[in-house]
Amino acid sequence: MVIKPIMSSSGKGQSVAETEAELAKCWDYAQTGGRTGAGRVIVEEFIKFDSEITMLTVRASNGTQFCDPVGHRQVGGDYVESWQPHPMTPAQLEQSHDIARRITDHLGGHGLFGVELFLAGDRVIFSEVSPRPHDTGMVTLCTQPWSEFALHARAILGLPIPAIRRHSVGASVALRAASNLASPVIDGLADAYATPDVDVRFFGKPTAGPRRRLGVVLATAETWDDALAKAKRAAGLLRLRDG
């Protein structure tokens, strides 16, 4: 089973118990790694899935709309790479829209929601929802005229969104600290920028611990897997160090 804190981010406090002997350790980690909900946890069935996506769902003054599906890969419950669009069948896409609409209608309000879903054969299974722009959705910074952040701002300001467009196929790779950094800096930008259609966003965080996300590499190409390969090559040229 999967054991999660009541509220968290980037997989903190989340773990998998494969035997009864691991339950106490998983409980302790959920209590210390989460942000709230002392004395409670979320327990879920472990799902064997083919892939997982984020359905970026926007509730605006003129109704609900969806970005093209964002595929992603996580390690330890934390996003490491994503791409848009993720290949899906029409039936999977219809199910995904239906689930995302029902979840966000129940929550209410205006803004962008990151609805995470598992794809298992013909089935689409709800995983979780973030009531805000989603880390995997940073790929929209290079694929859409209106990124997930711009869509969120426009929606919460009560402005209409007549259509959500995608102008390119793209991918993102997270840049994460490998150790404690008192003053993170990034090296290798000239090498990374030597590749066409690559962009790097460095977040400028004042400090960082292990696994903390400090930036993202964005790339576009003709296909999502080519874009992902390009982003991963560029990320391999970058180095995060203590300044």
Q: Which residue is catalytic, options 59, 101, 154, 213? A: 213
Q: Which residue is catalytic, options 82, 135, 170, 212? A: 135
Q: Which residue is catalytic, options 9, 51, 130, 195? A: 9
Q: Which residue is catalytic, options 11, 33, 37, 77? A: 11
The rounded distance, in Å, linking the Cα atoms of 93 and 116 is: 13
**Torsion region of 168: left, alpha or beta (phi above 0 gives left; psi -120 to 50 gives alpha):** beta
Query: Strand 78-84 to strand 70-75: parallel, antiparallel, or no bridges (unpaired)?
Result: antiparallel
Is 201 a catalytic site residue? no
Q: Which residue is catalytic, options 52, 68, 81, 116? A: 116
- Backbone φ and ψ for 164, nearest 5 degrees, come out as -110, 120
Q: Which residue is catalytic, options 128, 197, 199, 226? A: 128
Task: Give the other-Cβ count within 10 Å of 42's Cβ.
Answer: 17
Instruction: Report which of 172, 57, 68 is spatially closest to residue 126, judged by C-alpha positions.
Output: 57
Q: Which residue is catalytic, options 54, 96, 104, 136? A: 136
Is 59 a catalytic site residue? no
CB-based burial, 211-233: b 16+ in 10 Å, e otherwise: bbbbbbbbbbbeebeebbebbee
Q: For residue 108, with 0-12 CB atoms within 10 Å meaning exposed, 13-18 middle and 19 or more buried, which class applies?
A: exposed
Is 114 a catalytic site residue? no
Is 98 a catalytic site residue? no
Say which DSSP state 63 is in: E
Is 243 a catalytic site residue? no
Pull the structure tokens for residue 14.
Answer: 């989340």
For 26, 41, 111, the CA distances from 154, given in Å and listed in that order, are: 40, 34, 8
The rounded distance, in Å, linking the Cα atoms of 199 and 207 is: 23
Can you tell me which residue has the tokens 């999977």? 92
Is 64 a catalytic site residue? no
Is 9 a catalytic site residue? yes
Q: Active-site residue numbers? A: 9, 11, 116, 128, 135-136, 213
